[in-house]
Every structure is written in structure tokens, then in C-alpha cells.
Amino acid sequence: MSGKYEDLKVWQKAFQLTLLVYKETQCFPRHEMYGLTNQLRRAAVSIPSNIAEGKGKTSDRDFAVFLCHSRASLHELETQSLIAEQLGYWQGTAAAAVKSLTAKTGKMLNGLISAMRPDRAERKPLKAVG
């Protein structure tokens, strides 16, 4: 695993998403500071953090596991963003910006995860149990 995690386009996009989430949650109601605001920020931070941690692992397989953790955090962020939007905390351009950057980050993550999978032709088919 050579190269710096900062050079990965997906890490850069996830980092931008994290900064955007922090910026856009500053106007959330004070009573959400330890609720939805905290959850959104933690999920957002987890995405580039897991990419960076995975990049530091010694095998592609380990890296792929951390990319999957990043993707799970991205799904968590998407869900929490929908909640924030439904509650009226995010509206208009803020909601659109977060959705757009989340979608772009997700596509990049999925692409990298797919690229790291062994060729499907080399895999043995799974047998049905039962």
C-alpha cells in the first residue's frame, strides 16, 4: 500500500463533506448539540478517518474492510441528513449541497471498493444452503 491517504480523491471528497457538515450544522437548534448535530458530525468524521486508517493497513483486503466501514458511515450520514431535512434543520441549498456531496462521495467509495475486489471470475460460486 503505497502513497498517502491525502492523495486519494475519495478521501479528499470525504474530507470536503465533513467540513460541509460541520459548517451546515452550526445553525442547528441548541437542544440538538448532543443529539442530531453530534451524530451527523461523528458520522461525517468517520468517513475520511476510516479511509485514512485503511490506507495505513498492510494489505488491500484490510484497506477494503475500512472502505466498507466508511461506506457504512456514509449511509448513516445519509439517514441522519434526511432526518435533519424532515425536521426543517436543513433546507434549500444546505440540504442540496450535503446530498450532492454525499452522493459523489458514495459513488467514489463504491468504485474504489469494487476496484479492490478480486475478479469475479476467480471467485468460487456460493452454494445454497438448505
Q: Where are the domains of the chain?
A: 5-117
R_g (Cα) of the chain, nearest Å: 17
Query: Residue 12 corresponds to which cell in the numbers above?
Result: 479528499
Provide the residue-wise pLDDT of the chain in tens; the chain has 130 residues: 568 999 999 999 999 999 999 999 999 999 999 999 999 999 999 999 999 999 999 899 999 999 999 999 999 999 999 999 999 998 889 989 999 999 999 999 999 999 988 764 455 554 555 5
For residue 36, give every residue at least 6 positions away whose Cβ sits within 8 Å of its Cβ, in sequence order, or none: 28, 80, 83, 84, 87, 89
**What pLDDT shows up at residue 117?**
81
**CATH number listed for the domain at residues 5-117:** 1.20.1440.60
**What pLDDT shows up at residue 3?**
84
Q: Output the pTM of the full model.
A: 0.88
Grid cell 439517514 in the structure block, residue:
79
